[in-house]
Amino acid sequence: DIPQASRFLFMRNRVRMICDCYAQPVAVIQDERLPRDLSFCGSTLRAPHGCHAQYMANMGSIASLVMAVVINEKELDGDSEGQMQQKGRRLWGLVVCHHTSPRYVPFPLRYACEFLMQVFGIQLNKEVELAAQIREKQILRTQTLLCDMLLRDTPLGIVTQKPNIMDLVRCDGAALYYEENFWLLGVTPTEAQIQDIVAWLSEHHMDSTGLSTDSLVYAGYPGAESLGNAVCGIAAVRINSKDFLFWFRSHTAKEIKWGGAKHDLQERDDGKKMHPRSSFNAFLEVVKMRSLSWEDVEMDAIHSLQLILRGSRKETDGNGRNISINRQLNDLKLQEMDELNAVTNEMVRLIETATAPILAVDAYGVVNGWNRKAAELTGLSVEEVLGEPLINLVEETSAENVKRMLHLALQGVEEQNVQIELKRHGSEEDKGPVVLLVNACSSRDLKENVVGVCFVAQDVTGQKIVMDKFTRIQGDYRAIVQNPSPLIPPIFGTDECGWCSEWNSAMEKLSGWKREEIIDKMLLGEVFGTRTACCRLKGQNALTQLRIILNSSMTGQETEKFPFGFFDRHGKYVETLLSANKKLDEEGKITGVFCFLQIASPELQQALYVQHMLEQAAMKRLKALTYLRLEIKNPLYGIMFTQKMMERTDLREDQRQLVETSALCQKQILKILDDMDLESIEDGYLDLDTVEFTLGALLDAVISQGMIQSEEKGLEIGYDLPREITTTGLYGDQSRLQQILANFLVTVIQFTPAEKWVRIKVSPTKRHLGGGVYVIRIEFRITHPGPGLPEKLVQQMFNFDPDMSQEGFGLLICRKLVRLMNGDVQYLRGGGTSSFVIVVELATGQNEEC
């Protein structure tokens, strides 16, 4: 909205400053001797126009600084003599700065602003030129494609394919009028209005090849008013005397926005004074029925298309009709039919081979589509269901859902994820209905009328069966758990996160805590704990044991009943037996744990009492054993000290040997007293010591432990030990081996008749392991005459018996120790004698034959 005079002034003076719009203008008196009138075009002192001053006052702006943005308009090529190219300049826009109070901008700042606008104008000019080049390339590319369509004898492609004639130039609509047929694209007049425009062009522009205008009103078209603002500009080219191509543009008034503020509707221009709003209204009158002008590059593209189109349309039949276009029309119809048939066949194939059941009905609900998957699920072939009402093929429970879906789909409302059940037939009938999750799709004809419904389904029969079973089981389970019957035991549960998820009525009665007080609390810590918990446990051990049981059940392990006690709400201690079971969801995933409590009956209370008494007795025995161990160690340490003192005296060789034997026996006693972990021995996890010793010294210590009993019975003890192994250095647990042999020897002496004998025979076997290490497998055979050990005692050595004797338990422990030494024990009878055969493996580093 810049008047032409203002445009001229801004081209002369690029920066315009108004310090105060309310300042009174100062008259300029011109000397009469000057040859021409004074011009203030380039002066900063030029007063603003009264209309512009009023415009600023309406906006509340007192001072302003306006900077012009100027760009190149076009290039004018020089002549052949090499004149330099000159570029025209045009005003592109203004940058306006407003101030609400009077303000003066000094010259250096105005000069800097002018320079800034010059730089901005250069950059903007590059952008405009680039946009123009891109636009021109696009037009050329589209023109080439359209021309290619014409040269390839496919003229109708310029209106039926992409790109089309609308893509050639900027327009709001386009049309092809050929042999009284119409192809309309975008915003266009009606067919009758186009015929009227063709008649007007034929009458008033018969000698021209076309017409281009930005206003049909000013071009003289009488029906321009009836077209309104939708069609103002037109570019029309003549293909022949009767046929035309059209491009249409709408008016541009919609692109103009008024920026003024206040305006008095009573103000009118009086010929001398022009008001801002009246000025804008005058501008609207100019552009109201005009469109954007057609650019030269656009008209060149249109004319090029016209020439190629007219040249390619010379071939006509006897009636003057274009044979190529007629042939193209027929080919287009045939092509559309072929494409429609191909699409239809492909759709039918996809539906038939789909892995999902698909069925279709017409507007009356009669089945007209039934794919293989639907036939496979229901046992009904396509021939059996075609023509049957769909309502007859579904279960009664789904009839209302199907009727509703059909009614809504025929109204254009498509429901999704609706569950229906289809009847099974034939051999599949006994399996129950087919459960489908269905989406309804409305089928439409070419006129968008709904003519049927297509159902695309998902078979969820298996999932439905599992869910029904799980729901039924879950319902039964909840009914049992929450049943107030006295036959239901106390039950509490936890989820996978440790929160209490179940607390039934029996548990409420047992603990005194209500369900709503317990649910959603942490089971360990808040419900069961050692201090501030609702149900307090006796100690940390009880809490740890409960935690182990819950974790074991959560990992799927089977747990046995174990005693569980807690203090109820009133401080009474409750003793029960607890069993834990995992909780599963419908997919078999562990989601928590259920715990069942068995309240102590009189019999159970008696059993618990007996167990408690046994535990107390065991604790007393343990205390007594601890006391005995301590009391035995004290004199043992005295004996060991005395022995060390004797070793420091002058002793004969036989005396020194006796002292060494005594020392070995003392070490054996100390080893037994320090080792109370019988479970490790029974389970085979005891760590053996490794020391160096000789077999001769070990046998002396073993035999010395049986000498008192043998002398009392008059028995003779002898041993057969190969000389080469007597002093061989062996490596192993000397004290354990000494304990084993002594125990077997004493047992043999106990069951040997008086005045008889006991023989110990040692048989070593050596093998090399490599690296200077050898293993000696030694067999100790302890033989005695007579009937031997009782069979029950022998069996106790091999199998644990709760009623076993002390001798049997000692033999069992010794056999376990032998097995830890990679050996074993046998008891053999025959020839009036019996023998213990003990085999162990020991290491040695000497390479000597044994």
**pLDDT tens digits, one per residue of 405-447:** 888 988 888 888 888 888 888 877 777 888 888 888 888 877 7
CATH number, residue 32: 3.30.450.40
Task: Indicate if 595 and 624 belong to the same structural domain.
Answer: no
The reply to whether 539 falls in a domain is yes
Residues 789 and 805: their CA atoms lie apart, in Å, by: 13
The reply to whether 343 falls in a domain is no
Residues 389 and 391: their CA atoms lie apart, in Å, by: 5
Average pLDDT over residues 117-143: 83
Task: Indicate if 520 and 585 belong to the same structural domain.
Answer: yes
Burial class (CB in 10 A: 0-12, 13-18, 19+), 180: exposed
Task: Indicate if 697 and 763 belong to the same structural domain.
Answer: yes
What confidence score (pLDDT) does residue 838 get? Answer: 93
CATH number, residue 398: 3.30.450.20
Long-range pairs of 533-538 with CB within 8 A, sequence gap ≥ 24: 534/569, 535/511, 535/566, 535/567, 535/568, 536/566, 536/567, 537/565, 537/566, 537/567, 538/565, 538/573
What confidence score (pLDDT) does residue 314 get? Answer: 54
Helix (H) or strand (E) holding 137: helix 107-151
Task: Indicate if 717 and 807 belong to the same structural domain.
Answer: yes
Report percent pLDDT > 70 for the chain. 80
End-of-domain residue from the set 600, 617, 633: 600
Report percent pLDDT > 90 for the chain. 11
Task: Indicate if 443 and 531 belong to the same structural domain.
Answer: no
* 163: preceding bond cis by omega (within 30 degrees): yes
Task: Indicate if 583 and 732 belong to the same structural domain.
Answer: no
End-of-domain residue from the set 83, 105, 127: 105
What confidence score (pLDDT) does residue 261 get? Answer: 44
Q: Residue 759 — very low, low, confident or very high, per pLDDT cuts 50/70/90?
A: very high
Task: Tell me: pLDDT of 252 over 70.
Answer: yes
| Per-residue model confidence as pLDDT tens digits over 495-526 | 988 899 889 888 998 999 999 999 989 999 89
Average pLDDT over residues 474-489: 63
Q: Which residue has the higher pLDDT, 821 or 256?
A: 821
What confidence score (pLDDT) does residue 79 get? Answer: 41
Per the structure, the count of domains in the chain is 6
Residues 139 and 133: their CA atoms lie apart, in Å, by: 10
Dihedral through CA 473, CA 474, CA 475, CA 478, nearest 10? 120
Amino acid at 75: E
The reply to whether 373 falls in a domain is yes
Task: Indicate if 415 and 381 belong to the same structural domain.
Answer: yes
Q: Which residue has the higher pLDDT, 142 or 776?
A: 776
The reply to whether 474 falls in a domain is no
Average pLDDT over residues 459-471: 67
User: Which region holds residue 180: left if phi is over 0, alpha if psi is between -120 and 50, else beta?
Assistant: left
Residues 110 and 97: their CA atoms lie apart, in Å, by: 12
Task: Indicate if 838 and 775 belong to the same structural domain.
Answer: yes
Task: Indicate if 683 and 550 belong to the same structural domain.
Answer: no
Task: Please give the order of strands across the beta sheet that includes 590-599.
Answer: 500-503, 491-495, 590-599, 573-584, 562-567, 535-536, 528-529
Residues 625 and 632: their CA atoms lie apart, in Å, by: 10
What confidence score (pLDDT) does residue 130 get? Answer: 84
Task: Indicate if 511 and 638 belong to the same structural domain.
Answer: no
Grouping H, G, I as helix, E, B as strand and the rest as coil, residue 310 is: helix
Q: Which residue has the higher pLDDT, 579 or 316?
A: 579
Residues 380 and 373: their CA atoms lie apart, in Å, by: 10
Q: Are 702 and 812 in contact (CB under 8 A)?
A: no
Q: Residue 263 — very low, low, confident or very high, per pLDDT cuts 50/70/90?
A: very low
Residues 7 and 436: their CA atoms lie apart, in Å, by: 75
Task: Tell me: pLDDT of 41 over 80.
Answer: no
For the ranges 53-62, 145-154, 439-448, 715-724, which has the lowest average pLDDT? 145-154
CATH number, residue 752: 3.30.565.10
DSSP 167: G
Give the N- to C-terminal CA distance of the chain in Å, as an integer.
Answer: 125
Residue 148, token pair as written in the block: 């290619």
Task: Indicate if 803 and 832 belong to the same structural domain.
Answer: yes
Q: What is the mean pLDDT of the chain?
A: 80
Q: Are 232 and 244 in contact (CB under 8 A)?
A: no
Q: Which residues pair with 369 in a beta bridge?
A: 360
What confidence score (pLDDT) does residue 180 get? Answer: 80
What radius of gyration, in Å, describes the C-alpha atoms of the chain? Answer: 57
Instruction: Report in angstroms the alpha-carbon separations of 674 from 303, 620, 630, 664, 825.
Output: 116, 19, 10, 15, 25
Task: Tell me: pLDDT of 482 over 70.
Answer: no
Residues 599 and 564: their CA atoms lie apart, in Å, by: 10
Residues 250 and 229: their CA atoms lie apart, in Å, by: 6
Task: Tell me: pLDDT of 617 over 70.
Answer: yes
The reply to whether 662 falls in a domain is yes
Task: Indicate if 508 and 615 belong to the same structural domain.
Answer: no
What confidence score (pLDDT) does residue 779 get? Answer: 93
Long-range pairs of 174-177 with CB within 8 A, sequence gap ≥ 24: 174/245, 174/246, 174/247, 174/248, 175/245, 175/246, 175/248, 176/244, 176/245, 176/246, 177/243, 177/244, 177/245, 177/246
| Per-residue model confidence as pLDDT tens digits over 785-828 | 988 899 888 888 888 777 788 888 888 888 888 988 889 999 99
What confidence score (pLDDT) does residue 344 get? Answer: 64
What is the residue whose two structure tokens read 């541009």? Answer: 252
Average pLDDT over residues 225-249: 87
Domain that holds residue 239: 146-255+274-314
Query: Within a 10 A sphere around the Cβ of 775, how many other Cβ atoms?
Result: 15
Residues 248 and 137: their CA atoms lie apart, in Å, by: 22
Q: How far is CA 711 from the centre of its chain?
A: 85
Residues 388 and 440: their CA atoms lie apart, in Å, by: 19
The reply to whether 715 falls in a domain is yes
* Residue from 1, 113, 99 nearest 67 by CA: 113
The reply to whether 349 falls in a domain is no
Long-range pairs of 608-617 with CB within 8 A, sequence gap ≥ 24: 608/563, 608/575, 611/563
The reply to whether 330 falls in a domain is no
Residues 651 and 663: their CA atoms lie apart, in Å, by: 15
Q: Residue 378 — very low, low, confident or very high, per pLDDT cuts 50/70/90?
A: confident
What confidence score (pLDDT) does residue 280 get? Answer: 53
